[in-house]
């Protein structure tokens, strides 16, 4: 029988009533003739409680025990889902990561999936099991310890299972009914997309869209897993949700597919650093070692052998960045004269595969922001993306203006 992967996020399994509702959706797919792999998250809020328990017990905790504790939320959901399906007379059983097994690296709290051997679950399907309910977010290390994949890791689990089992599709059930052209909470004209290319979804996810975890989209693109994002609270239909697929599966699309934003950004400028080979490595090496996620980077024109270097990073990493740069300041390698930090900026981006073949998209973006009186501080581009750093107070205005300027409320 064909295999379908269905993933239910925390809000979709937040209580017994919602688990029952999700089980009914699984039953519909079983009735269509699918063998189903259901990947579940912990009930909404449970993982946060478990993280708090760990921190309250041991502030300098053992990462291996952290994973043992925080992975338990998914185990509870998987067992309850399997029980409910059994009550509906559907042959089902739960699977923890080590039982599959989901083999991962040893990086506790941020492990990466290395292999999912399908033999154990396929054997049970052959014996009459119709639904395998898998605890998401978790796996097993080469040392035999429980690992977790990082927050949002159940999305990655689901896509990895779809790839390993050559599933027909991977349905991601969440609390939104698809992927929108931008955040509907900011722009009331935001429109749900019927389809979006892997590349566009990957850019939107990495730029701040919260619908899918970035690693899950990377996996889907690599293994050509067709993803469908849909709401667990809407009535099932063939037109529901948004399909994330290969570019060639999309007949027509707008030049720009969506507008993304990241609110809590900060801008750091090193004043008067030496303009010579190796200066970038001397600056960004210590930042990497400190765990600072550097994003946009701009180097000014050199004057008298000195230049300014500007970069952005998440606002909650500024203290680490300042400490790392202060420690490196005394070295001859850097020796900047001053460090200027702007904590009140936001990143706004436009994304679209149509930008590859259409000139003037960036110019239109810049003109739109100019007309709204929004000053651009930093610009970065890729083949299908343009991002700008602006004052945070203008972020919502910029998102709405760009959404209107590129006609994203209208289908192609």
Q: Tell me whether residue 210 is annotated as binding.
A: yes
Q: Provide the token pair at 346.
A: 């936001």
Q: Tell me whether residue 320 is annotated as binding.
A: no
Q: Tell me whether residue 211 is annotated as binding.
A: yes
Q: Tell me whether residue 364 is annotated as binding.
A: no
Q: Tell me whether residue 178 is annotated as binding.
A: no
Q: Provide the token pair at 1.
A: 């029988």
- Where residue 117 falls (left for φ over 0; alpha for ψ -120 to 50; beta otherwise) is beta
Distance (Å, rounded) from C-alpha 59 to C-alpha 223?
Answer: 39
Q: Tell me whether residue 165 is annotated as binding.
A: no
Which helix (H) or strand (E) element contains residue 231?
Answer: strand 227-231
Q: Tell me whether residue 261 is annotated as binding.
A: no
What is the 3-state secondary structure of the chain? CCEEEEEECHHHHCCHHHHHHHHHHHHHHHHCCCEEEEEECCCCCHHHHHHHHHHHHCCCCCHHHHHHHHCHHHHHHHHHHHHHHHHCCCCEEEECHHHCCCEECCCCCCCCEEECCCHHHHHHHHCCCCEEEEECCEEECCCCCEEECCCCHHHHHHHHHHHHCCCCEEEEEECCCCCECCCCCCCCCCCECCEEEHHHHHHHHHCCCCCCCHHHHHHHHHHCCCEEEEECCCCCCCCCCEEEECHHHCCCCCCCCEEEEEEEEEEEEEEEEECCCCHHHHHHHHHHHCCCCCCCEEECCCECCEEEEEEEEEHHHHHHHHHHHHHHHCCCCCCCCEEEEEEEEEEEEEECHHHHCCCCHHHHHHHHHHHCCCCEEEEEEECCEEEEEEEHHHHHHHHHHHHHHCCCCCCC
Q: Tell me whether residue 47 is annotated as binding.
A: yes
Q: Tell me whether residue 8 is annotated as binding.
A: yes
Q: Tell me whether residue 242 is annotated as binding.
A: no
Feature table: binding site for ATP:
7-10, 174-175, 180, 185, 210-211
Feature table: binding site for substrate:
47, 74
Feature table: binding site:
7-10, 47, 74, 174-175, 180, 185, 210-211
């Amino acid at each position: 029988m064909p295999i379908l992967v269905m993933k239910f996020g925390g809000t979709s399994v937040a209580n017994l009533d919602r688990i029952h509702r999700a089980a009914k959706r699984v039953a519909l797919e079983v009735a269509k003739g699918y063998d189903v792999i259901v990947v579940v998250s912990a009930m909404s809020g449970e993982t946060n409680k478990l993280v708090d328990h760990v921190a309250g017990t041991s502030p300098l905790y053992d990462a291996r025990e952290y994973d043992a504790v925080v992975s338990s939320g998914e185990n509870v959901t998987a067992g309850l889902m399997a029980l409910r399906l059994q009550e509906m007379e559907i042959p089902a059983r739960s699977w923890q990561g080590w039982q599959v097994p989901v083999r991962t690296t040893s990086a506790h709290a941020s492990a990466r999936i290395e292999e999912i051997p399908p033999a154990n679950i396929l054997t049970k399907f052959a014996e009459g099991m119709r639904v395998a309910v898998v605890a998401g977010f978790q796996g097993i290390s080469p040392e035999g310890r429980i690992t977790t994949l990082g927050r949002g890791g159940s999305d990655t689990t689901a896509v990895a299972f779809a790839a390993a089992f050559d599933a027909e599709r991977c349905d991601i059930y969440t609390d939104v009914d698809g992927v929108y052209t931008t955040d509907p909470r900011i722009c009331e004209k935001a429109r749900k997309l019927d389809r979006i290319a892997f590349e566009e979804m990957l850019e939107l996810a990495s730029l701040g869209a919260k619908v899918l975890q970035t690693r899950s989209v990377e996996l889907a693109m690599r293994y050509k897993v067709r993803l469908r994002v849909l709401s667990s609270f809407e009535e099932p239909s063939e037109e529901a949700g948004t399909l994330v697929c290969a570019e060639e599966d999309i007949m027509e699309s707008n030049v720009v597919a969506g507008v993304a934003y990241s609110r809590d950004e900060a801008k750091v400028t090193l004043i008067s650093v030496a303009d010579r080979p190796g200066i970038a490595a001397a600056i960004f090496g210590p930042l990497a070692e400190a765990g600072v996620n550097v994003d946009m980077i701009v180097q000014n024109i050199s004057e008298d052998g000195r230049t300014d270097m500007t970069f952005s990073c998440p606002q909650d990493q500024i203290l680490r960045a300042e400490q790392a740069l202060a420690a490196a300041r005394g070295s001859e390698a850097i020796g900047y004269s001053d460090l200027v930090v702007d904590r009140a900026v936001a990143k706004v981006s436009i994304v679209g595969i149509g930008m590859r073949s259409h000139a003037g998209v960036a110019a239109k973006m810049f003109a739109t922001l100019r007309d709204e009186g929004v000053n651009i501080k930093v610009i970065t581009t890729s083949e299908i993306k343009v991002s700008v750093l602006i004052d945070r107070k203008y972020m919502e205005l910029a998102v709405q203006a760009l959404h209107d300027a590129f006609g994203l409320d209208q289908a192609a």
